[in-house]
Amino acid sequence: MVIVPQPPVATAHPERRWEPRLYPGTLATTGRVRSDLRTDLARLTGLGGDLVETVVLCASEMFANAVEHPRSGEADGRVIRTLAVHTAPGAGSVLRLSVIDDGARGTRPLVPRQRTAGEWWEAERGRGLLLVEHTAADWGARPVLDFPFCAGLDTVTWAEFALPVPARAEPGR
């Protein structure tokens, strides 16, 4: 039997990771988070404006949660945003947005409990992760892995978005 090596199969979206971005844990930084994300997403060709705005909306909500609930919102708090494109088996290429916080004040991010229509009407808060749940293809939260360079970090909240077939990361940008 002869074994012939096969060239890698080309995908519409090559695997790609952007440099993680570190932000101070203040709500005043949210505009910079959105601007930086738009800059990073501009490196994907063929990405529609609606998808860009959806990803930016989710990032805003995830960042606000990371500042509001865990220690990231305290003095010297920090939030890390990561962005990657990967191929999901049977699902094509996926954009994964992650927000990493400094540690819990007791709870992990959750979609709010069921509310009555009146409670939703009166509520001033608690819709952020609900927006993420309804606009992302998938989302979740998990503990940060225990590595020395991750000291002090606690929770990764992530959201995934299916990429259109023609979108691809431009090399060298």
Domain that holds residue 67: 16-106+127-166
11: CB partners within 8 A, 6+ apart = 87, 93
Q: List beta partners, residue 119.
A: none
Is residue 2 situated within a structural domain? no
Is residue 47 situated within a structural domain? yes
- Cβ count near 144 (within 10 Å): 17
Q: List beta partners, residue 82.
A: 98
CA angle, corner 91, sides to 13 and 110, nearest 5?
A: 105
Model pTM score: 0.73
Is residue 76 situated within a structural domain? yes
Asked if pLDDT for residue 159 goes beyond 90, the answer is yes
Is residue 146 situated within a structural domain? yes
Q: What is the pLDDT of residues 121-134, one digit of tens each?
A: 555 555 667 788 88
Is residue 115 situated within a structural domain? no
Q: Which helix (H) or strand (E) holds 104?
A: none
Rounded to an integer, what is the distance from CA 123 to the centroid of its chain? 25
Is residue 150 situated within a structural domain? yes
pLDDT of residue 5: 45
Is residue 173 situated within a structural domain? no
- Average pLDDT on 54-62 reads 95
pLDDT of residue 169: 57
Q: Point out the least confidently predicted range of 22-26, 62-66, 163-167.
A: 163-167
Q: What is the pLDDT of residues 33-51, one digit of tens each?
A: 999 999 999 988 788 889 9
Q: Name the domain count of the chain.
A: 1
Tell me, what CATH number does 80's domain have? 3.30.565.10
Is residue 70 situated within a structural domain? yes
Asked if pLDDT for residue 94 goes beyond 70, the answer is yes
